[in-house]
């Protein structure tokens, strides 16, 4: 199912690939986190080596280590994050923002949120 992959743009080689999200309840299906999820939405990568993406059906917003694909952080959004996040700097702090509105045809939780996080 869905994956997040990094390509080395210098040589076109696959750098890493990891499952992205889950569709089945991991408490019931122990391997569910290894399968990935249907995904709608994009990723962004910061100059500090973080890749942020929601996109999956499980409702989580995640930060990955851009060098190796390790999940460094995740949090549940109030609604599905089928959107591409953005980042900006204000008063010396960097922020990551995502629209969490869900997707009716995917069956993710619907809502009307803009969620912002600060990077330290």
88 exposed, middle or buried (CB, 10 Å; 0-12, 13-18, 19+)?
A: exposed
Supply 49's token pair: 């080596």
Token pair 């917003």: residue: 61
pLDDT in tens, 2-50: 999 999 999 999 999 999 998 888 889 888 888 889 899 999 999 999 9
Give the whole-number percent of the chain exceeding pLDDT 70.
100
pTM, entire model: 0.92
Better-predicted residue by pLDDT, 107 or 44: 44
- CA dist 58 to 22, 28, 50, 114, Å? 6, 14, 20, 18
| Half-sphere CA count of 5, side-chain side, radius 13 A | 11
User: Could you count the other beta carbons within 10 Å of the beta carbon of residue 116?
Assistant: 11
Better-predicted residue by pLDDT, 99 or 107: 99
Strand-pair partners of 50? 65
The pLDDT-based confidence of 105 (bands split at 50, 70, 90) is confident
């Amino acid at each position: 199912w869905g994956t997040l992959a990094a390509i080395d743009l210098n040589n076109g080689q696959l750098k890493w690939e990891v499952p992205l999200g889950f569709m089945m309840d991991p408490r019931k299906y122990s391997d569910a986190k290894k399968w990935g999820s249907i995904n709608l939405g994009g990723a962004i990568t910061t100059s500090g080596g973080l890749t942020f993406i929601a996109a999956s059906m499980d409702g989580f917003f995640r930060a990955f280590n851009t060098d190796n694909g390790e999940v460094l952080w995740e949090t549940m959004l109030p609604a599905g994050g089928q959107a591409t996040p953005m980042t900006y700097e204000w008063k010396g702090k960097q922020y990551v923002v995502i629209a969490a509105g869900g997707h009716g045809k995917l069956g993710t939780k619907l809502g009307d949120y803009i969620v912002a996080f600060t990077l330290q």
